[in-house]
Chains A and B, each alone.
Chain A
Amino acid sequence: MSSQTKDITRKENVVQAIIVADTFGDEFVPISDTIPHALLPVLNKPLIDYTLEFLSLGGIEETFLFCSNHVNLIKEHINKSIKNVEGWTLTMKVNIIISESCHSFGDCLRDLDAKGLLRGDFVLLEPGIISNVQLLSLLKKHGETTKFDKYASMTMILQEAGIGHIGRCPEEEIIIATNEQNRILFHKKMGKTKERKLEFPLDIFLENSEISLLHNLKDTHIAICSPSVLPLFSDNFDFQTKDDFIKGLLMNEEILEGTLYCHVLKGSQYGGAITNWRMYQALSYELQNKWIHPLSSPRKRNRLMKNSVIIGENTKIPESAHIERSVLGENVTVGQNTRVEHSFIFSDCKIADDVIISHSIIGPHCVLNEKSRITAGSILGQDTVIEKNLFVENTLVQSTKPDDFEEGDKLGAKSYRLRISGEEDDDLIVSSLSCKMSKMHIQEDNCESEDEIEGFSDSEEEELSYTHSPPPDDTKLFFTEVIDSLTRGFEDNLLCDNLILEINSSRYAYNVTVKEVNFNVIKAILTMSLRQPTGVQYFSHLSRLLSYFAPVLRNYIRNENAMVDSLQAIEDVATSNEDLKDKWVMFVLQYLYDKDYITEEVILSWFKTLESKSNFHSQVKPFTDWLEAAEEASSSEEESD
């Protein structure tokens, strides 16, 4: 069962690590039906190899590898590595522990506790970790922690990562509260809940003079544990995962006599775990971009092509194929005019001509016939054959008939739709999967502003989480600031002069141009009006608002340029708010014109610059028509102020 490599003489103080090799979930179906999670090829090298190399470089001398599925494959692989004298075999002993009765992370640890193999502090790895963390210094730090807190049972290793970063898994968003000693007082995994409100227990603020609330971290899934962790798992049979453990420990600190600490990685130290396909994609990219240096893709087996493409041995790409940001395994044949983007193709696949693959994963030995299209997070299991001209989108496909086979799931002789990610289902697991929309990151470059606003409204957290991220656009900030000032000014009935002063000071703070100031102030006033109910009183309310802000308007609409700016602001508001009343534009223009904020000439010349077919154009048209008609009648009145 256990395999010895080289005798490690020092039996005392051997640095030990535990790897739990199974996810016990169905994130990787259907690929995981044939390939164990640990042997998933990452840049054409089995995942477990990276983990073992990391442990070896990190200074670990003995590792317990826990497997419960595909045991023989893993065993075979480890034995092969030992035979080939892979780098890690020299400094580390690997024991494979087989436990087919285990059905969760917690079971594995209970099993280990029963075996009594661990002697001191140890490193606990969840499945799929790739990292370059120096473990010895962390173990030392944990040792120091245990000196002043004898109940310290676990140090979680966390890493700073900005919101929206590809390596930060949306399902694993966490918020923690720590005290000065980095002790975790509060821990919440945000990913699973949709709530945007958090309740922190008051005690933690009362008991500590200083608290840090951190939302800028990702879990590396590496933890340094005291020997007391295993008995804790044994005593509490409801601990199924590490999260259960953390939750349980924080809730019943006194009873369980265990405390949690955290350590935030600095500099070039990196940690991450492949827990789902998104993270698979993220870690593949980060490995490629050297974030996990010195771990890297095997040079011998891989070739790096342009457009960040990696291909394995005996794989050839024809001239006419367009491949971008993808990884191709060994012995893959690629047909003419094929497009492959952001995808992972495992070894021995056959891709015919004119196939399009994007954001998908193609399992080993698949055959894709002519003109098929595989897109948007599709996962193809081993040996799948895709028929000619077939279009597969966001679907899991496997080669054998699934148990819950239904009519319409059959895509071909050797391809069946796997219903787990299909239609909406009441089943809990299914719904949680489908809400992910896609199993891969798909072009998330352009949704910038959304996320920023979505974030967390609590200012502290926001600031903390953005500690090192670049400042958002100044003009945008300026705009929100202006809206805030004006809204408050209106509600509290403040003098407009004060508001002008405020706006001016924000203007200097954000260093925006006069043009932007004019534009944003008008836009802010108009946007404010939109917040009101759109009933009958809407226009009366709007005119009340405008007359209230008359001094502000007068201050900013001073010359013709400013008039044009304000007209543009109107256009901006009108076009970005679809549900405005038809007459809104008319009304605003009329108002500004009547009150002599904007002159006729400016309106007319601005009107000429508008696109004549646009919806907005037609909204303004009646007004300018009226202006032109009125021109003859009135001649002397139209002077500014």
Chain B
Amino acid sequence: MERFSALSLAKKALGGHLGWKPQWRSVEQPKKAYDIIIVGGGGHGLGAAYYLAKQHGLRNIAVIERGWLAGGNTARNTTIIRSNYLFDESSSYYEHSLKLWENLSQELNYNVMFSQRGCLMVAHTVHDVQVFKRHVHANRLNGIDNEWLSAEEAKEFCPPLNISPNIRYPVLGASLQRRAGTARHDAVAWGFARAASDMGVDIIENCEVTGINRGPDGAVTGVETTKGTVNAKKVAVSAAGHSSVVLEMAGIRLPLQSNPLQALVSEPVKPAFPTIVMSNTIHAYISQSDKGEMVIGAGTDSYVSYTQRGGLHIPAETLAAICELFPMFRRLRMMRSWGGITDNTPDRSPITAKTSVPGLYVNCGWGTGGFKATPGAANLFAWTIAKNEPHPINAPFTIERFRDGVMIDEAAAAAVAH
């Protein structure tokens, strides 16, 4: 692997940027057998392959991707990274991830452009204020940074914010996690792919898994794909919105509903927005990309769909909220909108676990907030696959929690998909 440094980049720049080589091996045809097959070549799947190779010494791994690398939700989200979740189980999972984010560029020798610009969660009602303060206290007890700001302090931190008392849902205050931030989504996938490929992981694109093969004892023996049968004793599914579809091949029914989640970007403008602002109550999520576009997250459509698009009334509602919170954006033109398919659990917490089928593992249910968890989920999924048992951090995130009534109810904590 060609290591990047200031010197190597300068050399390439002086050479007219000629001579760049592909950063990972493109494997057209999978081998007959691997130790582990990972279904889904997004950030979570590629990351799991990386950590399996790096931390567990398992290198005979294939990542099988139906489309192209990171063409699904990894490329479709609004890249918000934070760990200020209410429940201990969730905040320790997301904090594990945030800590990995903080060193990810160095670890991968690949700039994922992680920018800790802070995340302001705006409160509009008395209930919001109480809930967010509870979040702040819960986080601080767990050693996770989060602080409460008055409306004036929030405006000082983010000057475009409209704190006028005369808007429909006035800003009463905000919670701020300063270590939260954004990252370049493609770079995350590319960085993991490059590092995993270098350690021997085969990445096979344009290869759809069409079946999961099982032996007489019920255990997994491999997968059927559009490029033939591939054998493996362990199959790990990290297929986001398509997790139900893939696991149905092994007869497993999941507590998931796949809904489109939409996002949109504006025309690029000069740096105008210093942080990330989220408002769960009026459904506005906004930050500015390095290209200058305002990146805006809208809500989910209410019905099950795999279309990667949704109704225009959903982003319209978000834009109404953005215009009221940030009047300076009222004349900004929107450039593109798109949808991704999110896999939502009833409690809006993920599943990173073994399944009832021996040798079959699943990392799903990340719903509308999986990007922030990319390195953490990948890291703990790798642990679960390698050791055939969960890490203490992801141990509560099983499928069986729905049977046993031990849900991690972030749905109620945030009162919104997040």
Bound together: no
